[in-house]
Amino acid sequence: MFTRTKIALSAASTALIAVTGLAVAPLANADDLTVIDDRITVLEQGVSSSSYNAEEVARLNTRLETLEQQEATRATRGDGHMVFFRGGYARNNVNRHGNILTDAAGLGGQMNGQKDGWYVGAGLDLNLSDDMFGIDDNTQLLGEIMFEYKQFQRKDLDIGPLPTLLNTALTGTHPNPAPSSVTVSQFTLTASPKIKFMKNTWFNPWIIPVGLAIHVISPPSDGVTVLVPGMHFGAGADFKVWRNVYLGVDARYNLTFQDVNGVDVQGLTAGGYVGFGF
């Protein structure tokens, strides 16, 4: 009788230790699943007559199935990183009409540098935390690095800005104006935290609460300045279409607290993207 009691207590202790280890274990990998499976086999073979041990074996089997499902999900979903390619509509708050290097300050009656345009870009999401550092199991914290090129207008001018500027500086007049083509564009580089919700589902909305943006304009401003920093905000959603392939939509806004010597680069973009998880 004493021996049977020791066996039962030993089995119970072994099962409790196994369950405790599983409760605090992180997301399992293939080696973890093998260890769990071995523990279950030992428990089943050791004291199969114990009803308490049978309950613990059932709990371990349930836990094992859960871990296997999580591992399968992780294998198809990747590690939460993504590379994406964007495109769509761009609009700045203010046009660049009348700048010296965009349309020769309006000489000849032609204006260049409208507010509306288009953009293309790409970016990289790096998974920083799968559960917002323990706050929510279904929410990810990502670090996004993104760049985009925006083009607002390209125009063939009868009076070229740069030849006109040089003639004015050298002679004080505008003799023999030379035509030229000028493209008004803007390059933006951003680095932002991104919070993505509803992890492990086909639909993942996300927000960028605030990020850092660096803007470069072309042509330069009248003060021959091209660079200005600002704040970056955004919101969007991913739609999983197949395995690690995603389609998404987003809208973003860039806010600055100063202009580039008279050029306001604040504005928004709205469009779509295709992403590849890894």
Q: What are phi and psi of 131, to 5 degrees?
A: -140, 30
Q: Which residues pair with 38 in a beta bridge?
A: none
User: Is the Cα torsion angle 104, 106, 107, 112 positive or negative in sign?
Assistant: positive
Q: Give the mean pLDDT of 87-94.
A: 97
Domains of the chain, with CATH numbers?
2-77 (no CATH), 82-277 (2.40.160.20)
Give the Å distances, CA to CA, from 240 to 27, 43, 80, 278.
Answer: 22, 41, 13, 13
At residue 11 the predicted structure's pLDDT band, cuts being 50, 70 and 90, is very low
At residue 71 the predicted structure's pLDDT band, cuts being 50, 70 and 90, is low
Give the Å distances, CA to CA, from 113 to 16, 186, 192, 243.
Answer: 72, 11, 29, 42
Give ∠ CA 182-183-188 in degrees, rounded to 5: 145
Q: Which residue has the higher pLDDT, 277 or 21?
A: 277
CB 261 within 8 A of CB 61: no
At residue 31 the predicted structure's pLDDT band, cuts being 50, 70 and 90, is low
- pTM exceeding 0.75: no
